[in-house]
A and B are shown apart, each in its own frame.
Chain A
Amino acid sequence: MSYYGYFVAGAVLLVGVFGMARSRNLVHAVVCLSVSQAGTYVMLLSIGYQRHATAPVFGSTQKPSADVVDPVMQALCLTDIVVSATVTALLLALSLQIAKHHGTTDPDELTALRG
């Protein structure tokens, strides 16, 4: 069980890649890209986890102590999520315009750039 989280992270990333390669719809491909990125969230959070540790937020019920899960990994994950959301928005805007101007969202039918 001690490596399970990491393997899940790797598997999610590779599933997303496979999805992009076999995709027949650009929106599906963009969502597969964000699935791949979800693999990186799992990776970062698994690396930062500590058994029997609490959240890195102190208050009246939890006094400051070093026995918390890794806040640096959580901060990186937050940055990662924002990056993913914004890049997905950009790519979806591009897909939308492609659907309007090419009349299709199937990558197999986009033949403007060949050779």
Chain B
Amino acid sequence: MHFDDGVSQLAPVSLAVPIVACCLLLAIGRRASRGVTNGVAISGALAVAGTDVALYAASGSRVINWVGHWLPGRGHPVGIVLVVDRTGAGIALLAAVLMVLALVYSAKYFDTADAHYQCLMLLFLAGMNGFALTGDLFDMFVFFELMGAAAYALTGFKVEDRTSLQGALNFGIVNSLGAYLTLMGIGLLYARTSQLGLAQIGTALDHRSPDALVVVAFVLVMTGWLVKAAAVPFHFWLDDAHAAAPAPVCILFSGVMVELGLYGVLRVYWTCFAGTIPASDVRRTLLVIGAVTALVGAAMCLAQRHLKRLLAFSTIAHMGLFMCAAGTMDGTGVTGAAVYVVGHAGAKCALFLLAGILLNRYGSVDEVTLHGKARDAPVLGALFGLGTLALAGMPPFGSGLGKAVGEDALSSSGYWFGPVLFVAVSAITGGAALRAGGRMFLGLGPKPFEDEEQTTGDEEQPETAERITRLPASLVGPIVVLLAGCAALGLVPSAAHAIGSGVERLLDHGGYEAQVLRHVAPQPAPPPEDIDWSTTGVLLGLLSAALAVVTAIAGWYAEPIQRRAGAFLKPFQRCLAGLRALHSGHVGDYVAWLMVGVVVLTAIVGLPLR
């Protein structure tokens, strides 16, 4: 256990490093060459990754740092505590690694506006690190807003692109409103407990039955994190933001930022509310919201022709699956979610970077416009194909392993719909991406008819000054690294074991409080469960991949199929059209749905507790 020693100082120092690097970049940005600014930025991100590795290695029994040496004496604790366990350190490390890859990808060709782009990326990294490492609820809000501020500016970075400005504004308004609702919840909790730290709030709320104030405070605090996690009906901002954000920014959004929302939900529940709101209640909530999110994401994913929006809806669908897996509220489920998150990050981020290359090479990310045009890039095509199969959960990719563990957790908790949902959603989203890839790289299927209602991908401005014709290592390298990482996660047993061991400490409510407040050493961790491929897992993974291929084929030959089976498909098409009409791009609609979501959450959480 690391308390108040050199290792524990690494936690706050990992927040100061990107800030100092950003200050240096801002000072030299105007005059320094591209190589220098990229060097400083990538070194800053690598330094953060290094400290996160050290923290991860030390966090097996939690690293605790009371910032400024305000240790909890006999009285009321007044300081802010940083509590780093495996889950927090792990997700912080994932953020740092993805940031390094994103900065390498954008090193050569991006228009970075006097290094402002790299500055914003480093501050975004600081926000994500702070959110993952802190043990104080108001501090979580502050770093959430830091993540948000940097993210809004990065989304709108391509100022000449109309879609990026609108996407950034929708993103900004909806996420900020969610954060302010969270702040109301934090105020309510402070009024009841007079504490702001997670462990302290948990201790004050323990062993009392939850009244209306505690339930409403829980719902309000969850709202902000669920908006970030793109749970339905808070998810509308995500596809708008991804549509026009630069590709390296999209990989951070899809790979780690939305997953931090789910991390926030789990962290706050298990530390503050696990002693008062029963886990069964939260299980029901997460499973319902997760299932709806997964289905909505998958359905909308099929209907997209804009490649980045397609991948964004696939992220929403996968977030639904992560919520279902973590919503079993037991160790296996959370482990499955963690492995799935890392595997998904590898696959999804590779696909986003490929979309970025397509945009900069051919001037469009529209599946229909690029029909057959990408035939001259077989390497990209092969990588794209591998990425889509990884997304569909095919063994031996790590995403498939996470999917298998998640299915296992759900079915052993008695939720038979779990494996069905996981297979269906992975197949649909993987199939939609495969359909897009087949159209663009191989020209498969007849040219589809133009649908006026769809957002086309032709208005996207390329991120580079001129079309790129070669494929340098700085662009293709990160893609290969991501796919290789995803594959390694599934092939190398110790990788998944490393993620799994210690993730269960996330659920350790009593141990967290005792260690943070009373300096009690934690119980030795139970030996991690066997996180390995089971026969069922492998079979279901192969089934998802096969169904993904079927979905892709149905997509390529959609028109002939429609002509033959039109009457049968009509009700589904009408539902889908209705769903698509709801995604209007209008910020007033999104705010209305946010309010509806708060009401629904309060009902699902609160009514059974009356």
Contact = CB atoms under 8 A, between A and B. Distances in A.
Does A touch B (CB under 8 Å) in the complex? yes
B183 A40 contact: yes
Most chain-B CB neighbours within 10 Å: which of A23, A86, A114?
Answer: A114
A93 B585 CA distance: 19
A107 B589 CA distance: 10
A114 B187 CA distance: 37
Contacts of B180: 13, 33, 36-37, 39-40
Interface string B183-204: 1100100110000100000000
B152 interface: yes
A79 B172 CA distance: 18
Given A47-B190, A115-B455, A72 B196 contact: yes
Interface in B236-252: 239-240, 243
B376 interface: no
Given A20-B588, A94-B168, A87 B149 contact: yes
Most chain-A CB neighbours within 10 Å: which of B153, B455, B591?
Answer: B591
B145 interface: yes
Contacts of A110: 166, 585-586
B459 A112 contact: yes
Given A17-B591, A26-B169, A107 B586 contact: yes
Contacts of A44: 183, 187
Interface residues of A, number: 43
A94 B145 contact: no
Contacts of B148: 87
A33 B177 contact: yes
Contacts of A113: 163, 166-167, 170, 239-240, 243, 455, 585
Contacts of A47: 187, 190-191
B176 interface: yes
B173 interface: yes
B176 A112 contact: no
A94 B152 contact: yes
Most chain-B CB neighbours within 10 Å: which of A17, A20, A79, A115?
Answer: A115
B148 to A, nearest CB: 7
B595 interface: yes
A17 B183 contact: no
Interface string A14-32: 0001001111001001100
A13 B177 CA distance: 10
B137 to A, nearest CB: 11
B587 A101 contact: no
A68 interface: no
Interface in A18-74: 20-23, 26, 29-30, 33, 36-37, 39-40, 43-44, 47, 72-73
A63 to B, nearest CB: 21
Interface string B131-149: 0000000100010010011
A28 to B, nearest CB: 11
A81 B212 CA distance: 28
A40 B187 contact: yes
Contact of A107 (B149, B191, B587): B587
4 closest residue pairs by CB, A with B: A113-B585, A115-B580, A21-B588, A47-B191
Interface of B: 138, 142, 145, 148-149, 152-153, 156, 159-160, 162-163, 165-170, 172-173, 176-177, 180-181, 183-184, 187, 190-191, 196, 239-240, 243, 303-304, 453-455, 459, 580-581, 583-588, 591-592, 595
Interface of A: 9-10, 13, 17, 20-23, 26, 29-30, 33, 36-37, 39-40, 43-44, 47, 72-73, 76, 79-80, 83, 86-87, 90-91, 94-95, 97-98, 101-102, 107-108, 110-115
